[in-house]
Structure 1
Amino acid sequence: MATVSFHLKEPGADRPTAIYALLTIDRRHRIKVYTGQSLHPNKWVKAEQRAQVRGRGNELNGHLNDALQGISERLQLAYSTQIAAGTLPTLAQLKEAAAPVAPKSEATSVAGTDLLSTFTNWIAGRALTHTPNTLRTYRTTLRHLKDFQTIAKYPVAFDTVSGTFAQRLAEYLLTHRQLRDTAVRKNLVILKCFLAWATENGYPVPPDYKKITWQRREPDILTLTRGELAALVNLELTPRPALDNARALFLLGVYTGLRFSDVAALRPEHIHADRLRLTTQKTRDTLTIPIRPEARPLLARVIEGTLRPLPNQVLNRHLKELATLAGIDTPTERTHYAGGKRHTHTAPKHEFITTHTARRTFVTLALEAGLRPELVMKITGHKDLKSFSRYVNVTEDSVLTEFARVYAPAV
């Protein structure tokens, strides 16, 4: 097993100093690899092994943190590749893995430039400044555009991108790819983001690209009740270590409000006496989260190295099995929209439980317990009430209980 940590060469310096990665293999072998990045020590968060991202003068540090995350992933990949071949990686191999991936240069002359090729270069140019998940969504949009041109026979070019183009693309995504409205909107937002960049860089984009839009329809919010959560916690899983591991990952999300990507990335250095302190994978915000008593045994497993991260699809499959065993089977109606049409599907609740349920359950139960919304937002990292509200599920029982408490007849 190998871990990657980041350190400053001269943490006490009064000037920018080099950042190096330390690859630790089986807690015995340590290999130092310089990242080519540097930072002033007063901008470094030692506990997170990342640069500060909040405050004046730190606006670009998120890009540095993304670069370090990419280096960590490439070093891990290099290690895994060599181990699979029966050898340990050499220093030269690790240096090569840590070296930044040179993006394809963007054309200095934009006349007659192909949109799809430019989109490809646009994605490559963001390899060091965006997270792997974000790059994957960009590549998905690019693939949809290529398929749209091939299957729908509609030319994808700078001079054809307009409101009409967006409508045809949306129809294709709905009918041929059977995407829901939320996914269609996401792809159009990415396309619009690319076109805004292209406009700023002199590419011949029609001005009405700004009219590209798709109505946002929020999906149903699914959370666990206190009773359902207790049933999940009390399951006896001694003979099922894989399910026990999956439950622990899910419960950490419920107890901390962290996204799944952040739960999977938890390291011992994030865990302090009474709080977690870490920089989130998605937004690069630094969060401080009080540790609940229920979370301590699970965090101990993080420190011991016995809690194993799982791929999202595998964990979701385990969660459905866990919820089934816990008897979380209330008939539940779920609604989604495609092409503006409302579609509903009713099934036992366990069929709909995913990793997203954990964070939403945290928000809902925290509010029901009496935590003020602004405190919950501080823990989850939400910046505004509109985005925060998408995580709140006020159940019918909660409404009835609170109503009865407020309007109970005086004795």
Structure 2
Amino acid sequence: MATVSFHLKRPDAVIPTAIIALVTFPGHRVKVYSGRSILPKQWVKAEQRALERGYQQNGLLNDQLDLLQKRLQHYCDEQAALGLLPTAEALKSLATLEEPTAPAPVSVKKSFADYYTEWVKLTLSRGKVGTARAGNTTLRHLLEFEQAEGYAVDFDTITPVFADAYTAYLLGPANLTDNTIAKHIDRLRRFMRYAVDRGYTAARGWEKMKWKRQEPDIMTLTAEEVEALENLALLAGGYLDNARALFLLSCYTGLRFSDLVSIRTEHVRGNTLRLTTQKTRETISIPIQARALEIITRYLAGEVRPISNQKLNDYLKELGQLAGIDSPIEVIKYRGGNRSSETVAKWERLGCHTARRTFVTLSLERGLRPELVMKLTGHRTWRAFQRYVNITEQTVAREFAKAYEMPAPKK
């Protein structure tokens, strides 16, 4: 009875070596070159096969060896049944027969979610981490809506009827505010525009989707509250001292969090901070005041550490409470056009984006023209810029008294 085993010509080689089939039958042993080769480190001697784990291409090689073994074995069995011995020439010729090939790739139709994920990945590849994260949140809501309501979300089904059902879901089970819903609808519209531009769809029903945004009250810190944070006695190098430095640097420069934690040595050019923003890819140049330069120097030296946006927001609330930033503010929310409000201490709403808004408001109060502040912050439109302006009642009263020669208001 014949046996077939596989061996390497040079098991100690550091380059690919030939795989040999050793055919053994009564009184004879024939070497048959398989016509295949492999790196010895990818060969499993005990199994006489190529290692597949971590080497996906070796699966096809093993299929070819299996087929060759069957051919050689079948030929030997046929010869034995006829009372004949296999010939070396015939055995070697079997190794030159047509080899099995990998199956042709099957064309798989991409789903709506696949195209959406492609768009998010493209956004991420451009360095817009926050935008990509927000895009993933919108996709999660779409998939949850699809499962909860049984509505098949696809290019052709995104219509005003879909918008009615989807926004009702976001208002109800998802419990989102009008502003958040408006962001999700706007994000979905931007993706649909991307899909149309690339020929993925010709659908146009999405163009009529809309949701009214209710502009929220802008919360900023006053100059006195910023000063209270500056004068707060903290453990040097501690987590609160670190968080304060990051927040104040944003108050002094107007940088978004994503740009704040991306500052490098090459961005500092004398007394100017020049960089390209992560979100809009705008190149901005910001004069560095002394207080900002001190923090930037510490940051570049590793004395101020970047932390996550979420952690910074948590620490800022603790800082605000310690600094006595506790004046009551009304927090207004809109759902489906219905207004609700609650009054909380100001520190409870303190977040890293408050610093950017504070920079804008205090810069205007100090007399900088709006167009100059927009140049510093990278805002392209006045409408977008307005969302960052919060001229406080105290400032209005102070400036009014100054203009009309009235007694200065009490603090």
Alignment match of 1:295 (pick from 292, 304, 308): 292
CA deviation after TM superposition for structure 1 residue 345, in Å: 1.4
Cα deviation digits, residues 357-380 of structure 1 (max 9, x gap): 101111111111111111111111
Trace 1:104-115 onto structure 2 (pairs within 5 A).
114-115=111-112
- TM-score by length of structure 1 reads 0.69
1:307 to 304, 308, 317: 304
Q: Using the alignment, how far apart are the partners of 2:366 and 2:307 within structure 1? A: 30
Q: 1:117 aligns with which of 110, 114, 118?
A: 114
- Equivalent in the alignment of 1:207: 204
1:186 lines up with 2:175 in the alignment: no
Match of 1:394 among 387, 391, 396: 391
Q: Aligned letter for 2:204?
A: P
Distance 1:118 1:239 in 2: 49
The structure with the largest alpha-carbon Rg is 2
* 1:334 to partner: Cα distance: 1.2
- The Cα of 1:409 is off from its aligned counterpart by 6.4
Partner of 1:332 in structure 2? 329
* Alpha-carbon separation, structure 2, partners of 1:264 and 1:291: 16
Rounded to whole Å, the distance in 2 between the matches of 1:349 and 1:320 is 9
Q: Given residue 229 of structure 1, which amino acid in structure 2 is its aligned partner? A: V
Deviations 1:48-76 (A, max 9, x none): xxxxxxxxxxxxxxxxxxxxxxxxxxxxx
- Separation in 2, partners of 1:198, 1:279: 27
Stretch deviating more after TM superposition (150-159 or 216-225): 150-159
Partners of 1:132 and 1:336 in 2: CA distance: 27
Deviation at 1:246, TM superposition (A): 0.3
Aligned-pair CA distance for 1:269: 2.1
Which position in structure 2 is the counterpart of 1:233?
A: 230
Q: Structure 1 residues 163, 303: CA separation in 2 closer, same or farther (over 3 Å shift)?
A: same
Asked if 2 retains the 8 angstrom alpha-carbon contact of 1:329 and 1:350, the reply is yes
Instruction: Please report how far the alpha carbon of residue 204 of structure 1 lies from its aligned counterpart in structure 2 after TM superposition.
Output: 4.8
Residue 40 of structure 1 aligns with which residue? none
C-alpha distance in 2, partners of 1:204/1:323? 50
Is 1:164 paired with 2:172?
Answer: no
Inter-partner Cα distance in structure 2 for 1:246 and 1:122: 34
Q: Which residue of 245, 257, 276 corresponds with 1:279?
A: 276
1:123 & 1:311 partners in 2: Cα distance? 21
- Structure with bigger RCO (C-alpha 8 Å, 6+ apart): 1
- The CA distance in 2 between the partners of 1:214 and 1:364, in whole Å, is 28
Counterpart in 1 of 2:263? 266
2:369 is equivalent to residue 372 of structure 1: yes
1:298 is aligned with what amino acid? I
How far, CA to CA, are the matches of 2:161 and 2:239 in structure 1?
A: 50
8 Å Cα contact 1:141/1:190 also seen in 2: yes
SS where residue 359 of structure 1 aligns? helix
Contact 1:158 1:204 in 2 (8 A): yes
Q: Secondary structure at the match of 2:269?
A: coil
Going from structure 1 to structure 2, the CA distance change for 1:195 and 1:365 (only over 3 Å counts) comes to same
Name the CA distance, whole Å, in 2 between partners of 1:169 and 1:203: 22
Given the alignment of the two structures, is residue 242 of structure 1 paired with residue 239 of structure 2, yes or no?
yes
Cα distance between partner residues in 1 of 2:347 and 2:291? 23
Structure 1, gaps ≥5 residues long: 1-108
Q: After superposition, what is the alpha-carbon deviation per residue over 1:343-395, rounded to whole angstroms, capped at 9, x for unaligned?
A: 21111110011001101111111111111111111111111211111111011
Q: Counterpart of 2:274 in 1: which secondary structure?
A: strand
By how many angstroms is 1:177 displaced? 1.4
Change (3 A) 1:166 1:182: same
Q: Secondary structure at the match of 2:380?
A: coil
* Deviation for aligned residue 1:281: 1.1
Cα distance in structure 2, aligned partners of 1:294 and 1:204: 52
Q: Partners in 1 of 2:256 and 2:350 — Cα distance?
A: 15
Contact 1:161 1:205 in 2 (8 A): no
TM-score by length of 2: 0.69
CA offsets per residue over residues 130-172 of structure 1, 9 Å max, x none?
Answer: 5222222222211111111101222212332110101111111
2: CA distance between counterparts of 1:250 and 1:125?
30
* 8 A contact 1:267–1:302 mirrored in 2: no
Provide the C-alpha distance between the structure 2 equivalents of 1:239 and 1:307, rounded to a whole number of angstroms. 10
Tell me the distance in 2 between the aligned counterparts of 1:135 and 1:409.
Answer: 52
Distance 1:350 1:125 in 2: 37
State percent identity of aligned pairs: 48
Alignment check: 8 A CA contact 1:251 1:358 kept:
yes
Query: Which residue number corresponds to residue 135 of structure 1?
Result: 132
Q: CA RMSD in A?
A: 2.2
> Per-residue CA shift, 1:275-329, capped at 9, x if unaligned?
1111111111111111112222212202312110110111111101111011111
Q: 2: CA distance between counterparts of 1:251 and 1:127? A: 28
Alpha-carbon distance in 2 for matches of 1:336, 1:285: 31
2:149 aligned residue (137, 152, 160): 152
In structure 1, the residue matched to 2:171 is 174
